[in-house]
Amino acid sequence: MQRIEKSLSFDALIVGSGIAGLRAAIGLAESGTRVALVTKDDPTDSNTGYAQGGIAAAVSEEDRVELHLQDTLIAGDGLCDEEAVRVLVEEGPERIQELIEWGTRFDREGTRLAFAQEGAHSRRRVLHAQGDSTGMEIVRSLLARARQFPSLSFFSRTFSVDLVLEGERCAGLLLLDERSREVWLARAPAVLLASGGAGRLYRETTNPPQATGDGMAMAYRAGAVMADLEFVQFHPTTLFAPGAPRFLLSEALRGEGAVLRNGEGGRFMARYHPDGELAPRDAVTRGIIQEMERTGDACVYLDLTGRDPSALRARFPRIYDTCLRFGFDLARDRVPVHPSAHYFMGGVRTDLFGRTSVPGLLAAGEVACTGVHGANRLASNSLLEGVVFGARAAGIMLAWVKGAEVRASRQNVVPLRALPTGESQEIASALAGIMWMQAGIRREAGGLASALQYIGAWEASLNAEPIRREGVETRNLIILGRLVCRSALDREESRGAHYRSDYPMRREAWRRHLESKAPSPAEDLPRFE
């Protein structure tokens, strides 16, 4: 039995300090609501901070909301929920104006906002900040505003282990203080998961180490409905050089004229899609893989050579300096690139206000599946989704908090089924390799079935262990690996980011969402009594 060191109560709990979590926290704290925002590392460490390209919204004089709607629906390859997309594009301009009023410094051309072009957008509608540091700038401004409210408490380096149920309702969180190693309970009538995605499920990924799918796995264990987990977006262009991380080279580079070349120096994307380098991400990713197979090369090359170095550095300072650090000058050298796992379109199924199928539990941002992305996310819609649905979730949480009585109660906490730290690291690495090979950019039934066999064996090896972050993260990745492989095996077609080499065509019968749900909440889930 794990000892509980302390128990605290709040009006609302939020897991994650990216754009969705911060926007929700501000919306709650403005009313004086006692909010605890929990993040397993520093509040500045989130997928939002890694977002380079920008945030898309129809706010320029040359753009219209209907055009943004249509571009999103087309990119989603028949699986977007149009009502959700309409919420996104119609409320997006108001949220952008709010960010500006709160101090977000988007790039400008003179006094007017500057807009970039990205793949599958029919207009230049992507706002950016400091060239290619949009996410960092948005996090900076939201954190600055959030810290103005005394009713908002930050709990950094605090790992969310599991949701806590009271009957069928989510009523809190089981938490691990990483500094003291103490385990404690936090109770609230409203809990929001804004914990991001699960890119670390794959060997090649743009995501930071924190992206282990904790919120998705916790929600599944608590009995929440999951949806569209077979749709994992792979970014086509990440740095591919010895000793370099899979650093994302933004789609905005191609929007500004960068082209893709093979090892012989020839452009090739027109062979695979009529829109060439500005095709949707799934098409560019598969085009690169096909070209690598055709030529036998280990990578392809992103070419911006011949451009003014000072202009490139001004527009893409972070990318320019990172490439230079690994020996590539954007203005003079072709940069080796290779696709990597980037974003989960699927996640915890929610309605248009972030409510999940578990009473008391909401989700927003990448952890959630609102239906706005369908089978393939339109570039730079992810930050917009976070701020729009983070604000919407805050409104629902305020309604739940109003009049709710947070009472003390006994808790029954049972030993957690996890893995010892050393073993968990080895399994996480093996899992990432299997997922990349068998459930990555191209899939087929035999490979998916093989992956499920490995994952089943690892699940069977879970034992009661002391609560440690590494073991719990690996447990979460194993759960998600099974869900992704199962959904990918079930969807016998190719659509958007999901490509089955044994079912290469899109099939109308599969124009529907696939949902997953645990038969019941996990037996070892902590509960209030």
> Residue 516 domain-assigned?
no
Please, are residues 163 and 191 in contact by the beta-carbon 8 Å criterion? Answer: yes
**Does residue 65 lie within any of the structural domains?**
yes
Distance separating alpha carbons of residues 67 and 138, to the nearest angstrom: 25
In this prediction, the residues of the chain whose per-residue pLDDT falls under 70 are: 1-2, 403, 405-421
The answer to whether residues 356 and 335 belong to one domain is: no
In DSSP terms, 280 is beta-bridged to none
| 395 within domain boundaries | yes
Number of domains in the chain: 3
Question: Does the residue 238 lie in any domain?
Answer: yes
The domain that contains 450 carries what CATH number?
A: 1.20.58.100
CATH assignment at residue 261: 3.90.700.10
Where in the sequence is the domain holding 377, given as residue range(s)?
6-228+345-401
313 is catalytic: no
- Which H or E run contains 165? strand 158-166
My answer on whether 27 and 173 are in the same domain is: yes
From 95, 125, 281, 377, active-site residue: 281
- Is residue 527 included in any domain, yes or no? no
What is the model's pLDDT at position 408?
A: 55
For 23-42, give the DSSP string: HHHHHHHTTT--EEEE-SS-
Nearest C-alpha neighbor of 507 from the set 484, 490, 519, 486: 490
Do 64 and 48 lie in one domain? The reply is: yes
What's the whole-model pTM score?
0.94
Q: Same structural domain for residues 176 and 210?
A: yes
Name the residue with tokens 């068998």: 438
Q: Note the pLDDT of residue 162.
A: 95
174 and 80 assigned to the same domain: yes
Same domain, residue pair 419 and 391:
no
At 329 the pLDDT is: 96
CA 120 from chain centre, in angstroms, equals 20
Residues 204, 70 share a domain: yes
Query: Do 208 and 330 have their domain in common?
Result: no
Q: Are the CB atoms for 137 and 127 separated by under 8 Å?
A: no
Q: Are residues 334 and 362 in the same domain?
A: no
Whether 170 and 251 share a structural domain: no
Same domain, 203 and 73: yes
Asked if the structure places residue 511 within a domain, the reply is no
Chosen domain end from 324, 339, 354: 339
CATH at residue 358 = 3.50.50.60
Helix (H, G, I), strand (E, B) or coil at 495: strand
pLDDT number for residue 142: 97
Q: Which residue has the tokens 């950019």?
A: 441
Which residues is 113 bridged to in the sheet? 108
Q: Are residues 224 and 270 in the same domain?
A: no
For residue 99, give both structure tokens. Answer: 């960010």
Last residue of a domain, one of 401, 427, 444: 401
Strands (E), 373-437: 411-412, 416-418
> By C-alpha distance, which of 16, 360, 372 is closest to 214?
16
Structure tokens at 307: 């451009």
